[in-house]
Copies of this chain bind each other. A is one copy, B any other.
């Protein structure tokens, strides 16, 4: 009997985490990875810092190259190879080598779909002009930086007020551009409540970003095929470079065409072991539908941490072990200018949509003891269920040292703690690190009073 062959579609976080895990557990397995781009295992989250010049070499964003996977892990990572179709009945894939344009069928015994997500690019007049970028692959980041270096644009418009939009707006400011940001929301950062998002809007304006809130993109103007302006429902904004940060969608079309059932927002449906509903086919990362641990509903999120975890879990199961992924909280953090911004769990709009009754508490405190040099400002908001006091979500906006405190709230959420429990947590304290009541506990105390 020949060795079992695992084929992975997609060579970034989820795919390569799974492949590496299988290699550790099954030294004899044959492992092939097809990746459309020239790169494996890169940090998409690092792209804004490469574009701003804070990170000088794109190679630094790559955790492991295809050569390293081949040589150190005996994983046959074939970049610039696109999978065109999955034939689950025959257990084979239609593959094209993007260099040679050759096509063939490749057999698999076990398949992992880790095709990631694609940035949402609206089909609007002028959207095919050059100078309009979505940010997803390492290649896309390299293209943006090359364009910036070659053409030295002076005016940038960022469309979208999420993490990528904001981080890119800051990067463009650091490069000396005039930057406008268009968001449909009342404030940037719609994963925060508007009162917390307003703090981030202010921070962006302080560094010189011009904000257009409550506006929607309607199209682009171009000159000789190059973008020259962004058109919203309210104005025309001149621009030589446009960054689209309008969210991402699961890249699940291959799965859909192969009859693999999809779930929420067209993410591939998987069980807790990352198994699809088709025998022998697994899926992980930004292409799958997740489960939200607080709302207890299906949820879609595209995040490197989740992709790495799901990939490792898929790898464990593919190698004959047993591991499950419980779900997500939507925890996220970002550095926006001088502020650190973080959130976890549900925000008010989510809670209302679920029909739950709740109390909130928003407190202002300091990142260190008030008398200790460098004590920065921090605002913490927590949301708790009426009656039970069950923690439902948390949001933090603050200066250096503020954001990672969200992890206490994330851990408490995952444990199903109440705000009463939070008040009694034995958290660490010393003047260089915290006031004697950690700000997350101060928020919890206030929430107890508001229940």
Known: A411-B415, A428-B406. A433 touches B328 (CB 8 A): no
Asked if residues B406 and A45 are in contact (CB atoms below 8 Å), the reply is no
Alpha-carbon distance A13/B433, docked complex (angstroms): 18
A425: interface (CB < 8 Å): yes
CB contact list, A280-308 vs B, under 8 A: 293, 303-306, 308
A427: interface (CB < 8 Å): yes
Known: A43-B436, A309-B424, A437-B308. A430 touches B333 (CB 8 A): yes
Number of copies: 2
Q: Interface stretch among A116-124, A128-136, A252-260, A366-374?
A: A366-374
Known: A54-B372, A431-B49. A414 touches B404 (CB 8 A): no
From A330, A332, A414, residue with most partner B Cβ within 10 Å: A414
A64: interface (CB < 8 Å): no
Residues of the B chain whose Cβ atoms lie less than 8 Å from the Cβ of A408: 407-408, 411
Alpha-carbon distance A214/B331, docked complex (angstroms): 46
Alpha-carbon distance A344/B424, docked complex (angstroms): 15
Interface residues, chain A, CB within 8 Å of chain B? 13, 43, 45-46, 49, 54-55, 60-61, 163, 293, 303-306, 308-309, 325-335, 340, 342, 344, 369-373, 401, 403-408, 410-412, 414-415, 417, 421, 423-434, 436-438
Q: How far is the CB of A361 from chain B (nearest CB, A)?
A: 16
Asked if residues A403 and B331 are in contact (CB atoms below 8 Å), the reply is no
Alpha-carbon distance A329/B327, docked complex (angstroms): 28
Residues of the B chain whose Cβ atoms lie less than 8 Å from the Cβ of A54: 372-373
Residues of the B chain whose Cβ atoms lie less than 8 Å from the Cβ of A405: 404, 407
Query: Taking CB as reference atom, which chain B residue is nearest A305?
Result: B429
Residues of the B chain whose Cβ atoms lie less than 8 Å from the Cβ of A49: 371-372, 431
